Structure 1
Amino acid sequence: QEKSCRLSAALLGEDSEISQEELYELLKYAALGKCHNAAQPSWCHIYHQSHLAGVVVVVLHDMSQLHFYRFYLQFKHLRKVFQHRFKLAPSANFLVSLYGEDTNLKPQNTPQGLTSTSSECITKNLHLQYDPILQRYGAKKQGLTSYTLTLEEQKKHGYPIEGSPRSKGYISTECHQQRTDSSPLFGLDCEMCVTAKGSEVTRVSLVDAWGQCLLNELVKPESRVINYCTRFSGVTKEMLLPVKTKLSDIQTRLKKMLPCDAVLVGHSLNVDLQALKMIHPSVIDTSLLFARSDGRRFKLKFLAKAVLGKEIQCEQKLGHDPTEDARAALELAQFFIEQGPTKVAELNLEMLLTAEKVAEFSKNKAALQPQGCGFQEQLNEPPPSSKPCFLDCLQVTGQKPLLLGRQGLDSSGLCQSNLSTSNKQILQRALQDVPLSKFSIIQFSLDPEYLGSHLHAGLYGKVCSKLTDMLTIYAGPFEENFCMKYVKKKFGRCGPIKSLTVVTETFQPYVCIQYEVLEAAQLAVESLDGAEIAGSCIKVQRPVTASMLDCNVLIEELELDVENQGVIYVAGLKSSLTETDLREKFSQLKDLETLFLPRDLESGKHRNCCFLKFQNTQSAVDALQAINGWTIKGRVLRSRNALAPGHLWRWIWQMNHIYGNQRKHIFYEKMEQLSESEQDLRKKVKKLDKHIKKLYRSLQNNTLCIVLFPGVN
């Protein structure tokens, strides 16, 4: 049974800020795993990494935490589905550092394939005895029967086997004659599409030992086609419309064409035989023949160029040519048999692959550098040390990441051939290509007119204004000579108060209370509205402004936010209580995972409230019922479901320090201009969220998906 991958991170509140290096730790381990000496991240844990289907990073170009909070209701999918949310420490060159700096490795093409120039980074392996090819086959030449897969090897690598429950209903080629070193070789390759049943054959090619094409046939899938995979298969809907040939027809023809001692050759041939639903007892798999360490495999395109000096699967062509691929696999097997393992090992394929991948990636990045001066110079920063970047590590291990971005923007390292003109085009390409890639970076963006610095400042003013209104309540009316100290004490039990003032413009006095956390304001509205305080039956309400008309909707959605599931807010704590006291008191609650005690960022004192995170939602519900009415050191505790993460308040504090006293000036100066464009911006953000939703739903199970708001340059 397939194991389920899971990410566990117990960061909460102000501690939920991670650095750029910590994000790299996560990406590197998720993509490479232990087999490439990548370590578990220091701040979180990935369970069953080896079962990860892939990693997808969605980058929202020039969008920041500010955009998420301002358009919180529009980001419906993001806030309800993504289970972890972390604040990323600011970095001026974040995306550039992710894609890495140029290196000086330059491979050269030769008639025989690839030969790398000398480099300090890549050294030639002089100890051929450690080569995995020689370790597997020895140094001497052998006949073809020495390179056919044994029955155990076929089982291990997922080949259809007679009598196996997984091969029920499969057709045997009935080629049971004993093989010799003179048995005939046949190259086989298939192209597939994705249907309602899974993967089905759309094209089959068979070539003989001299490379002559014996079969090149289109096949009609049995089920409804979901994706023709045209970019790889070359097969289109129009091509299959007149086709009458069925899979059973191909099975019959192959049985007639193959002699009783035939040896089939292919690259990852198990996939082709599974798609054909056929069993053949004697096979040579070139993806296993040219052995690598740790179970990795060379791609057919690379082997054809490095070993045979042939270019196949050219990007100019529409899809792969199965006849070309079948012939390439056949010639690779013939080369191996004729030349022997030692000659193959002397090619030093690992070194050639490393040189090719790193040089290709460096070329892509060099093409994107602006004329005149580099990105680092524009930022007036010293060039970083030339350590290998994350994507370079992927390239060296043979994994080619998928990079999709938008034209007309600084794509910070995205391959130029993968730039599109709109988010819709990027989404369409992503839906087609992401399932075929182990690591993908998809960059969506808003139009440049929505990303100006003046709009950013105006949005910040609106966010702060709305949050201030949500943190503020009005209570009253009170008697003329009411006791302010008593009122402050009663309302202070709901949470930390930032300010309390008396409103004198009314017939009877009211008080305006601004809290420091949103849960406190909501708790006051819910528990004290209609209560008798200081001799008066009072009403508690929030200010009525245009921005507050959707306040109740926002509160409801915040409670449903996946980040707040299993988290409760507790108020009424004495300032003398320590974190140790609280952990001891709350330790009796079932499934308590983390305690977060918010502190003043300047004084360091805690704010008389805390947040408790539980392992599941039901435990949080049970704790909520238990805590209400608890008394600690004479104080009665009050609690409710959490509404906002602690890192929100840390962000507001940081933004106040960035803008300082300029905020009001910016806010009022840009308000009119902002209101004209904000309606359009809201629609654009909503559409972006739908794009992410569609991409997310197309991902395979056990895919790690990360969405980055990298900030405004």
Structure 2
Amino acid sequence: MSQLHFYKFYLQFKHLRRVFRHRFTLTPSANFLASLYGEGANLKPQNTAQGLTSASNECIPKSSNLKCDPIIQKYGEKKQGLTSYTLTVAEQKRNDYPTKGSPKCKGYIYTECDQQRTDRSPLFGLDCEMCLTAKGNEVTHVSLVDAQGQCLLNELVRPESTVVHYRTRFSGITPEMLLPVKTRLSDIQTRLKKLLPPDAVLVGHSLNADLQALEMIHPSVIDTSLLFARSEGRRFKLKFLAKAVLGKDIQCEQKLGHDPAEDARAALELAQFFIEQGPAKVAELNLEMLLATEKLAEVSQKKAALQPQGCMVQKPLTEPTHLSKPCFLECLQVTGQKPLLLGRQEPDSSGLRQSNLSTSNKQILQKALEDVPLSTFSIIQFSFGPENIASHLLAQLCEKVGRKLTDMLTIYAGPFEESFCLKSVKKEFGSCGPIRSLRVVTETYQPYVCIQYEVLEAAQLAVESLNGAEVAGSCIKVNNANSKRMLDCDVLIKELELDVENEGVIYVAGLKKSLTETDLREEFSQLEDLETLFLPKDHQSGKHRNCCFLKFQKSQSAVDALEVINGWTMKGSKLRSRNALASGHLWRWIWQMNHNNGKQRRNVFYKKLEQLPDFEQDLRKKVKKLDHHIKKLYRGLQNNTLCVVLFPGVNSMHGSQSGLGLMGIKDDGGRSAC
């Protein structure tokens, strides 16, 4: 099953959608169980002592397989000069770098290195160690190295305020070391300004923290924690990158704290490696897999260390290997956990699965109710027969969902006078949210306008706020499209509003496009209990779509905010708001369905559509049973149990549908929370 099934049969999934608070989209898998169990993994164990740098050539992925790597997605595959990797002003602001004109940077010293950068501009590595003082983090050790790795500056600094914690384990600073020191921060600032040429590019790992502590602003920087990009905003540690990329050990445990000169040199060499080798070569290192392997080895070593002396320690299934990423179950076994696996297909002692297709979902449920409470980790697989995933039936199902989605996003407004101003209509309805298309309907006695929106909230808001309003000189009616697909639309809208993911979330439209995210945060900061602001942006232009979502800590605060915002004028623009209908992952899925699947739907060969109603009715019954099974299983779990429900998705030659994950922790009230 896939995300498509969940939203097609949304009303039938009563338990899943009301209990599991957190959802996320999954990349579709051709064989989800194989990836989970590790079937067919080409495991060739190698000596742990070889470390992270002993990858064989046969395991390095080809460039064609690297399209999804975050590094390739960010920089492309071709080599570029160093100026391509320096942070823009916007990136610096987004990553909390001190910048000119920022209110937070009053009194900061500017390096005055304003000469135009080229790909031959000199690189300098910079790193600082800080101690905690009454003022906050203050610099106590500064190092600057040039492109050849020569140390130009390596100074201890006496902080202005009293030291509260020396953080010796990380900073390497002790009270005795600072006793004779007379150098102050202002002295370091002056020396750095003299040492840096006018076109200098500073390199560091999370360099923003160093510049903040130095109270200095520099216009051109390369941050290796951002250069070696990862997904979802995560970052590699400098110690890991130095070992995996350069083959160097830094920040060793036997040393007292970090050596800023060593760290500055490592960051500089990492940037030089990236520039000289190019993104494709860096991506081929497969850093994510190396990190997973390293962590797996650490867990294995810790487990071995805990074994009583003289005992025979069983070798883990997977030792560090560059030929295959350790599968999930292998990671569990390394930590000493033996998971319970229940389903129509179960692995035997060798790790291969034995089919047992005679087992029904009901029998699986009964077995789970007995065995799950006795296991620390359980995986239960409910299955549907192959007749429910036939490619032509899935294609028709996708077609039906796409059409219904289009109907829900489409409204009709009118009637208008023959000579009405279309620009005025577009402006008025555009204040409810981003419009995908707008056309005049002339087949009627008087003109009507058909408007298709990008988001569900916009279409619903237009119906609620503009029906009966005077637009372009006419008193108009606003309605959704009339079709049998829309018969249960009101029920669906109501249930989406009550969805646990939309608790405390409201939709706001009518934002001027000149307003930045910072402007909006300042404007909305007066709303009580505001937790998050989500600003959807256009995939091509990068500009926001004149609407946003606000999440509040309490549901009542969201209700209060709705009353305040409706009728609120911001920078001359009247705002409109309503309860949210689509969470973040659903919003992105809707956009994808509208923009990508339209072409696929037109090119798919369909069998007679008369086949679908019987299939759909049968699947609807099975979905209700599945929801009931999970409800019974969920009720039988102990409190504080982490629960994850996965729809693996579909990935075949006939097309792909994204999977869906639902997650929560069972609490005393019978609902999940995280």
- Alignment TM-score, normalising by the size of structure 1: 0.52
Aligned partner (choices 334, 348, 352) of residue 311 of structure 2: 348
C-alpha displacement at 1:628, in angstroms?
Answer: 1.3
C-alpha displacement at 1:442, in angstroms?
Answer: 0.9
Matching of residue 427 in structure 1 with residue 365 in structure 2: yes
Measured against aligned partners, the alpha-carbon deviations of 1:396-419 in whole angstroms (never above 9, x if no partner) come to 333210111115999x96753987
Q: What CA distance in whole angstroms lies between the structure 1 residues aligned with 2:347 and 2:449?
A: 51
Flag the 1:81–1:594 CA change in 2: closer, same or farther, 3 A. Answer: same
Flag the 1:413–1:593 CA change in 2: closer, same or farther, 3 A. Answer: farther
Q: Is the 8 A contact 2:511 2:570 kept in 1?
A: yes
Q: What CA distance in whole angstroms lies between the structure 1 residues aligned with 2:516 and 2:362?
A: 53
Partner of 1:201: none
Matching of residue 78 in structure 1 with residue 5 in structure 2: no
Pairs within 5 Å for 1:544-583:
544-583=482-521
Q: Is the 8 A contact 1:64 1:710 kept in 2?
A: yes
Partner of 1:628: 566
AA aligned to 2:397 is L
Measured against aligned partners, the alpha-carbon deviations of 1:606-638 in whole angstroms (never above 9, x if no partner) come to 111000111221121121111112111100111
Flag the 1:538–1:384 CA change in 2: closer, same or farther, 3 A. Answer: farther
Pairs within 5 Å for 1:497-576:
497-576=435-514
Partner of 1:639: 577
Partner of 2:332: 394
Over alpha carbons, which structure has the higher Rg?
Answer: 1
Q: Secondary structure at the match of 2:382?
A: strand
C-alpha displacement at 1:519, in angstroms?
Answer: 0.5
Q: Is the 8 A contact 2:13 2:623 kept in 1?
A: yes
Q: Is the 8 A contact 1:101 1:389 kept in 2?
A: no
Pairs within 5 Å for 1:52-201:
63-92=1-30, 94-100=32-38, 120=47
Matching of residue 405 in structure 1 with residue 368 in structure 2: no
Q: Is the 8 A contact 2:502 2:583 kept in 1?
A: yes
AA aligned to 2:391 is S
Flag the 1:417–1:580 CA change in 2: closer, same or farther, 3 A. Answer: same
C-alpha displacement at 1:90, in angstroms?
Answer: 3.8
AA aligned to 2:361 is N
Partner of 1:606: 544
Aligned partner (choices 411, 424, 431) of residue 486 of structure 1: 424
AA aligned to 1:393 is C
C-alpha displacement at 1:652, in angstroms?
Answer: 3.9
Matching of residue 707 in structure 1 with residue 645 in structure 2: yes
Measured against aligned partners, the alpha-carbon deviations of 1:657-693 in whole angstroms (never above 9, x if no partner) come to 6645341353865533222311111111111111111
- Structure 2 unaligned blocks of 5 or more: 50-300, 652-674
Identity %: 75
C-alpha displacement at 1:463, in angstroms?
Answer: 0.8
Partner of 1:436: 374
Q: What CA distance in whole angstroms lies between the structure 2 residues aligned with 1:104 and 1:481?
A: 71
Q: Secondary structure at the match of 1:495?
A: coil
Q: What CA distance in whole angstroms lies between the structure 2 residues aligned with 1:527 and 1:514?
A: 16
Matching of residue 446 in structure 1 with residue 384 in structure 2: yes
C-alpha displacement at 1:536, in angstroms?
Answer: 2.3
Partner of 1:685: 623
Q: Is the 8 A contact 2:347 2:353 kept in 1?
A: no
C-alpha displacement at 1:89, in angstroms?
Answer: 3.2
Q: What CA distance in whole angstroms lies between the structure 2 residues aligned with 1:605 and 1:521?
A: 21
Q: Is the 8 A contact 1:404 1:419 kept in 2?
A: no
C-alpha displacement at 1:390, in angstroms?
Answer: 2.6
Q: Is the 8 A contact 1:458 1:667 kept in 2?
A: no
Q: Secondary structure at the match of 2:402?
A: helix
Q: What CA distance in whole angstroms lies between the structure 2 residues aligned with 1:434 and 1:641?
A: 38
Question: In angstroms, what is the RMSD of aligned CA positions?
Answer: 3.5
Q: What CA distance in whole angstroms lies between the structure 2 residues aligned with 1:550 and 1:536?
A: 30
Q: Is the 8 A contact 2:303 2:335 kept in 1?
A: no
AA aligned to 1:552 is D
Flag the 1:562–1:70 CA change in 2: closer, same or farther, 3 A. Answer: same
Measured against aligned partners, the alpha-carbon deviations of 1:230-284 in whole angstroms (never above 9, x if no partner) come to xxxxxxxxxxxxxxxxxxxxxxxxxxxxxxxxxxxxxxxxxxxxxxxxxxxxxxx
Matching of residue 465 in structure 1 with residue 403 in structure 2: yes
Q: What CA distance in whole angstroms lies between the structure 2 residues aligned with 1:703 and 1:550?
A: 35
- Structure 1 unaligned blocks of 5 or more: 1-62, 107-117, 123-292, 299-343, 363-382
Q: What CA distance in whole angstroms lies between the structure 1 residues aligned with 2:24 and 2:449?
A: 36
Q: Is the 8 A contact 1:478 1:536 kept in 2?
A: yes
C-alpha displacement at 1:393, in angstroms?
Answer: 2.6
C-alpha displacement at 1:646, in angstroms?
Answer: 3.3
Q: What CA distance in whole angstroms lies between the structure 2 residues aligned with 1:459 and 1:541?
A: 26
427-436 or 481-490, larger mean C-alpha shift: 481-490
Flag the 1:420–1:427 CA change in 2: closer, same or farther, 3 A. Answer: farther
Q: Is the 8 A contact 1:570 1:610 kept in 2?
A: yes
Aligned partner (choices 554, 574, 581) of residue 616 of structure 1: 554
Q: Is the 8 A contact 1:565 1:617 kept in 2?
A: yes
Flag the 1:477–1:103 CA change in 2: closer, same or farther, 3 A. Answer: closer
Aligned partner (choices 666, 688, 696) of residue 604 of structure 2: 666
